[in-house]
Amino acid sequence: MRIPCPYCGERGNAEYAYLGDAGVSRPQTPLGAALEGATLDAWMNYVYLRDNPAGAHRELWYHASGCRAWLIVTRNVSTHEILNVEAANGAIRDGRVGAL
Amino acid sequence: MPDQALRQRAPLEALARPGRFGATSAAAGVMLSEIRDRGLASVAARKNQRAALLAAAKSAFGCGLPTRPRRAFGRDGLSFVWAGPDQWVAMLDHGPVGGIEPRLAASLKGLASVVDQSDGRAVVRIGGARARAALAKGMPIDLHERAFTPGDAALTFFSHINVHIWQVDETPTYEIAVPRSFVGSFWHWLTEASAEFGYEATGSNSSA
């Protein structure tokens, strides 16, 4: 599998590290709030629960052996076709993905 | 009190034995040396200062900072290699010890973070007719002249060690910056990869 880095060009997946789903956002729990009810559910969802689609998936990759940029890669997990790649910092700044 | 002053040592001083090694049936296909008189510094743009930094660098150093993986040459032996988004490695040929950081910091104050890396990385020069074939054994990027030309740079790995490579001339000659603590392992791999082509090692090479 080869991923086109927006900064470095197309590189083999050996240069990258995989993090996972780019769609999850860290719950905005106030400091000291009790972890129960809806708050506990939100944290359970954030830490453990993931969709497992057989098709397009937005996910975070880190160009660890390259430019060290975080990328949001849209990948078909059935065929490994790369559908879209963008820099994660731009997407976080624009509010299109939650800060980690 | 120690009875002996600490002496500055180049990263490969104890490892890079000068001489001709490997296959001897033809002229050496690979030339290896270490560049020991070059100052290095990392330059990283401060938040929201990218445009101001590019403009300031252009007027202060006589060259723009490259915004894609390239090396640009400024005045008086100064050059800049792209090192990631909004990051560069500045290099000063024949740089005096500790000389590069103050030289950059004055012009880039408030626009970029400048940190001396001269002691943190080793710079190895690899050239010769078979240099490309030797590097291909450990590096996943295409160094063919159609894909990589003098002035081009890349961040990648060589035998699992993250490296920063740029091409110097069409011989081809490349320079590779390696984190200092990895350079022994890197050198071992590089010399083993070059042995079948025959290689000539010279300990030290001038940076210009």
Distance between CA atoms of residues B99 and B116, nearest Å: 9
DSSP one-letter string for B144-206 = STTT--TTBEEEEEETTEEEEEEEEETTTEEEEEEEGGGHHHHHHHHHHHHGGG-EEEEEEE-
Looking at this protein, which amino acid is placed at residue A81?
A: E
Pair B126, B79 in one domain? no
Give pLDDT tens digits for A31-71: 888 888 989 999 999 999 999 999 999 999 999 999 999 99
How sure is the predictor about A89, in pLDDT bands with cuts at 50, 70 and 90? Answer: confident
CATH class of A2-26+35-93: alpha beta
Of A8, A12, A14, the CB nearest to B155: A8
| Beta strands across the sheet bearing A56-62 | A17-21, A56-62, A70-76, A82-87
Q: Residue B49 maps to which CATH number?
A: 3.30.70.1520
User: Inter-chain contact B85–A66, Cβ cutoff 8 Å?
Assistant: no
Residue B149 lies in a domain: yes
The count of structural domains within chain B is 2
How far off is chain B from A22, nearest CA to CA, in Å?
Answer: 21
Domain edge (last residue) among B70, B88, B116: B116
Residue B126 lies in a domain: yes
* Residue A93 · residue A86 · CB < 8 Å: no
**What percentage of chain B exceeds 90 in pLDDT?**
81
Residue B9 lies in a domain: no
Pair B167, B187 in one domain? yes
Residue B89 lies in a domain: yes
Task: Answer whether B157 touches A (CB < 8 Å).
Answer: yes
Distance between CA atoms of residues B196 and A30, nearest Å: 63
Domain edge (last residue) among B61, B90, B116: B116
Looking at this protein, which amino acid is placed at residue B71?
A: R
Query: Would you tell me how many other CB atoms lie within 10 Å of the CB of residue B175?
Result: 23
Pair B99, B144 in one domain? no
CA distances from A52 to A21, A49, B65 (A): 10, 10, 43
- What is the domain partition of chain A in residue ranges? 2-26+35-93
How sure is the predictor about A100, in pLDDT bands with cuts at 50, 70 and 90? Answer: very low
pLDDT, residue A95, reads 63
